[in-house]
Amino acid sequence: MGGILSSLNTPYTGLMGHQVMVDTVGNNIANANNEFYSRQVVRTAAEIPLWKQNYALGQGLSVLSIERIHDEYTFSRYKRATSEKTFYDTSFRGLKEASSYYPEVDKVGIYNDLQKYFNAWKDLSIKAGDSAQKVSLAEQSQTLINNITTTRERLVNLQKSLNQELKTAVEEVNRLGEQIAILNKQIAEYESKDLNKKANDLRDLRDQYEFEINNLIGADVFKNGLQGSAPVNKNIADFEERYTLNVGGRVIVDGASFQPLTLDNFDNPDGLYTIKYLRTDHKEYNLSNSLNQGKVGAILDLIRTEDMLEDGTAGGIGKLQVYINDLDSFANGIIETTNNLYAQSARLSASSDILRINYQDAFTTSGYNINEGSFDVVMYDKQGNTLGKRTVVIDNLTNMQSILDQLNANVDDNSNNNASDDFDDRFVATFTNDNRTFAITSKNPSEEIYISIQDKGTNFAGAFGVNRFFEGSNAKDMRLALEYREDPTLIRAYREPVSGNFEVANMMQQLQYDKVIFTDYEGNKHSETISGYFRLIAGKVSSQTEATKTTQETKEAVYVAIKQEYKRSSEVSVDDELVNLIRFQSGYSANAKVISTIDEMINTLLGIKN
């Protein structure tokens, strides 16, 4: 069909098409500052022509669709760069805070307190009977202890603070995942390949939620059957046949269905969360060791406690937990080495901490730092004269029962054929599974015979806290022994119980120069001076913080570059849109002019007829 009247339809389609273009440009400009709004364009093509005998007559403009400019590959790179940046931002923030707990500068920090502590022992070795020096030593000991325990407490509190951030982040991931599932359903309902509709704004919103999930926890999105757009074929649109979103290798969004993550801290004494996923067999799967991206990955890298993987092997632990464990190893080394030396100071009896072993448990597999070797229990009278000694040997099979057997055995310690002056004649060693305390007590206290435990590599007195100077076993429970907290003047500088003897105090101040054995949380042994081991663990914090800062700066640069690339491909340029607005307005005006011209032609024809 043709004719002058039907000719009005051709410019009308152009008029309506350019109005859609102007409206789309207006929508783009209105959303110019919406970060996740994708620039939209009008896809058009010529209408099907009117076929004449010798030619095809064009019938105007056809609006195929309004599509968003979205590059999935660039968007994926942008999400990845942002997730990596967030990971190192979070990690550096936590490590920077932790490193501030080790302010090893002049007159501040644990290292300085160590020097003052050893100097106090030195002062006591010079004036062994001076009560003021003992009070000063107790004060310096308490200052050192407080700084160690406070540093550990601050690390634990940082863990707990980050743990709350983890909880909030996982809850937000669940909220966003549920919203994506809802959006998938809405997109599927709205879009129809037959009608060629495009849910551009819904897809933009879904991209925003994807981006935020990826930033929080890292995610892999799979859009199977994804199709691009092509203006030459109106049957090809931006559809996908299947949408899945995976976190830690597990699907939490599958089309319109959503499977939330769960948090569990029931078995953790500090309340630190484990992130779990409910599998299709209704068994919980531990995801914590699989999450290494985004904010959640960074927090877990800082606070993760040792978890068992699905195959039964142990997972890794977080950096803050390593620092706490290192501080515990450091405190344990000080406690046991000090107590092992202090046990040489002669007393009328000896007793240990309450132990975690039975009398038949082998020492070398008991969890205590007991080594193969021997120790002597030396007897002194009140004038400091040596009366004899009992040597106890420890091998890889030794348990508490064998210690008792050796101490209580009827042996001629002095080789003088006198059956009444040996160790077993004067003392008895005891240990039961009920009280779990090792003790050596005098059979005749009125004799005032003193005993000194002098070690030869076993660490027996240090590990079991026999006649201890420090209580506890780590940085959490380290204390000055109760009797010295209550009365510092009871501190003993001597080995033999005579006035003017300062041998123990002298060994204590010499300890700062000697290498001692520190056992880390993995069971590895380190031979270092006390101050050297502290520099080692403090240096670990500093070096990891600096390394993370360097990586953070690199990731920041990559993020900025990829974000600019993404903005160029998808975001709105107001300048470009204003140019388009002028173009489309001109096209609209031109089509209106065509309509006016045809109207004049019709009036001319009507005038001729009249």
Q: In what order do the strands lie in the sheet with 373-380?
A: 386-394, 373-380, 450-456
Residues 504-522, mean pLDDT to the nearest whole number: 93
Q: What is the mean pLDDT of residues 572-600?
A: 91
Q: What is the DSSP letter of 241?
A: S
Nearest to 387 by CA among 375, 373, 397, 377: 377
pTM of the entire predicted model: 0.86
458: tokens are 């076993």
Q: 68 forms bridges with which residues in the sheet?
A: 40
* Nearby residues of 433 by Cβ (< 8 Å), 6 or more positions away: 358, 359
Q: How far apart are CA 438 and CA 423, in angstroms?
A: 17
Mean pLDDT of 11-15: 91
Residue 427 CA, chain-centre distance (Å), reads 53
Q: What is the pLDDT of residues 16-26, one digit of tens each?
A: 999 999 999 99
User: Cα–Cα distance between 297 and 291 in angstroms, integer?
Assistant: 5
Q: Which helix (H) or strand (E) holds 375?
A: strand 373-380
Mapping DSSP onto H, E and C, the string for 154-207 reads HHHHHHHHHHHHHHHHHHHHHHHHHHHHHHHHHHHHHCCCCCCCCCHHHHHHHH
499 pLDDT band (50/70/90 cuts)? confident
* 300-351 residue pLDDT tens: 999 987 654 444 445 578 999 999 999 999 999 999 999 999 999 999 999 9
Is the pLDDT reported for residue 364 higher than 60? yes
For the cut 90, the answer to whether the pLDDT of residue 169 exceeds it is: yes
Angle at 288 between CA 283 and CA 294, to 5 degrees: 130
Give me Rg for the CA atoms of the chain: 40
Q: Name the least confident of 62-71, 372-381, 475-484, 512-521.
A: 62-71
pLDDT at 581: 93
The pLDDT assigned to 67 comes to 86
Q: Which two structure tokens, joined as six digits, stand for 262?
A: 């769960």
Chain segment 170-205, per-residue pLDDT in tens: 999 999 999 999 999 998 888 776 556 788 899 999
Least confident of 218-227, 255-264, 390-399: 218-227
Mean pLDDT of the chain: 89
**Bridge partners of 263?**
275
599 vs 443, more confident: 443
Residue of 328, 317, 309 lying closest to 248 (CA atoms): 309
What angle do helix axes 319-342 and 131-190 make, rounded to 10 degrees?
160
Q: How far is CA 63 from the centre of its chain?
A: 53
CA distance 482 to 419: 38
